[in-house]
Amino acid sequence: MEYTHLGRSGLSVSRLCLGTMNFGWRTAEPDAHAILDRALEAGVNFVDTANVYGFDAGKGRSEEVLGSWFARGGERRERTVLATKVYGSMTDWPNDTFLSARNIVRACEASLRRMRTDWVDLYQFHHVDLATPWEEVWQACETLVAQGKVLYVGSSNHAAWQLVVANEAAARRHFLGLVSEQSHYNLLTRHVELEVLPAARHLGVGVIPWSPLAQGLLAGVLGDQEGDRRHAERNRERIERHRPALEAYEAACRDWGLAPADVGLAWLLHRPGVTAPIVGPRTAEQLEGALGALDVHLDQAQLDRLDEVFPGYRTAPEEYAW
């Protein structure tokens, strides 16, 4: 396993991040524990969740599964860089959502209880809250850091200018500010190349891509009949819309003798500024497949071919202005 610093921080994280969104509802607790054990055995020390994950089984359920795993001991908690998120509504009451100081502090304490831990390594804002000033957000985070309940703070789904404003406000308070940003980024979705990636690199904010395989579209969906049936209802329109590019992509992967899923993850690992793509396996077999991407090295000719199939963006403003 390779490790890298999370943004400009001194925190070392694995080049793959294990996402737990499926745990507790799509993936039963014993199976989730087996996946977590295998990931830790393979050197994956970076685990991501959110307070709202659990869905059909109830919000908070994924954090509870992590809590029962940590409770098994064996230094599971000590060896894990644990990331969770705050923003989404946990109840119907108005103050149990968004990024008020009240919700940040109370939601963090609730997450700690569910995960049976004293601290969160990386506490992330699941979305931007334009109605709450950053001075209030950072006041709450400073409290949590001073109490030892949070060590680092990150964002998710933020625009480049929001990263800048956030860290300028933190700097005025002599606070570290954001060290990471979770963004929707894959070969099919490359909008963050315009401004988020260059801003993050400038600020020392590590980028953690979510949905690295575009909900399975980059995992060989055309060549996998079982996968094709799985996506028939939810993703049929997306498959048809991207069919020419997906056909060219899977043909390139066949030429290289590589699995499409491995290529999609490996491409992200080659992108400047990317810390660790988030992989969210439902099964142990899917985790093993993701681990294989760490051994894939793409040369410049392969990277150029991928850019031809899935054109990206130059950084702004050069992309759209002289």
| Residue-wise pLDDT tens digits, 117-130 | 999 999 999 999 99
Q: Which residues pair with 152 in a beta bridge?
A: 122
Contact assessment for residue 150 and residue 174, using Cβ atoms and an 8 Å cutoff = no
Residue 58: exposed, middle, or buried by beta-carbon count in 10 A (0-12, 13-18, 19+)? exposed
Q: Which residues contact 308 (CB under 8 A, 6 or more apart)?
A: none
Q: Token pair 């793409």 is at which residue?
A: 298
- Minimum mean pLDDT range among 98-102, 215-219, 236-240: 236-240
In the chain, the largest separation of any two C-alpha atoms, in whole Å, equals 59
The active-site residue, picked from 53, 123, 152, 185, is 53
Contact 128, 158 (CB under 8 A): yes
Quote the tokens at residue 115. Answer: 């995960």
- 53 among known catalytic residues: yes
∠ CA(170), CA(174), CA(175), 5° rounding?
50
Cis bond before residue 317 (omega within 30° of 0): yes
Locus of tokens 């109370």? 106
Please check the confidence at residue 191 and state whether its pLDDT lies above 80. yes
In the numeric block, the tokens 């994956």 are attached to: 44
pLDDT greater than 80 at residue 233: no
Tokens coding 248: 């060219």
Residue 236 confidence class, pLDDT cut points 50, 70, 90: confident
When pLDDT is averaged across residues 261-285 and rounded to a whole number, the result is 97
- 244 to each of 103, 152, 187, 239, how far by Cα in Å? 46, 42, 14, 9
What's the rounded mean pLDDT across residues 311-315? 96
Kindly tell me the sign of the dihedral angle through the C-alpha atoms of 4, 6, 8, 12: negative
Task: Check residue 129 and report its DSSP letter.
Answer: -
Q: Is 92 helix (H, G, I), strand (E, B) or coil?
A: coil
Give the integer Cα–Cα distance in Å for 10 and 151.
Answer: 11
Rounded distance between C-alpha atoms, residue 121 and residue 156, angstroms: 15
Q: pLDDT tens for residues 74-107?
A: 999 999 999 999 999 999 999 999 999 999 999 9
Q: Phi and psi dihedrals of 307, rounded to 5?
A: -65, -30
Confidence of residue 235 (pLDDT cuts 50, 70, 90): confident
| Tokens linked to 7 | 């943004």
- pLDDT at position 223 is 83
What amino acid is encoded at 100 in this protein?
S
Select 3-217+260-298's CATH number: 3.40.50.1820, 3.20.20.100, 1.10.10.10, 3.30.2270.10: 3.20.20.100
Confidence of residue 229 (pLDDT cuts 50, 70, 90): low
pLDDT (mean) for 212-240 = 79
Beta bridge partners of 86: 125
Q: List phi, psi (to 5°) of 193.
A: -70, -20
Q: pLDDT tens across 248-259, in order?
A: 999 999 999 999
CA distance 48 to 276: 11
- pTM of the entire predicted model: 0.95
Q: Which letter does DSSP use for residue 126 in this model?
A: S
pLDDT in tens, 197-215: 999 999 999 999 999 999 9
Cα 292–Cα 297–Cα 298 angle in degrees, nearest 5: 125
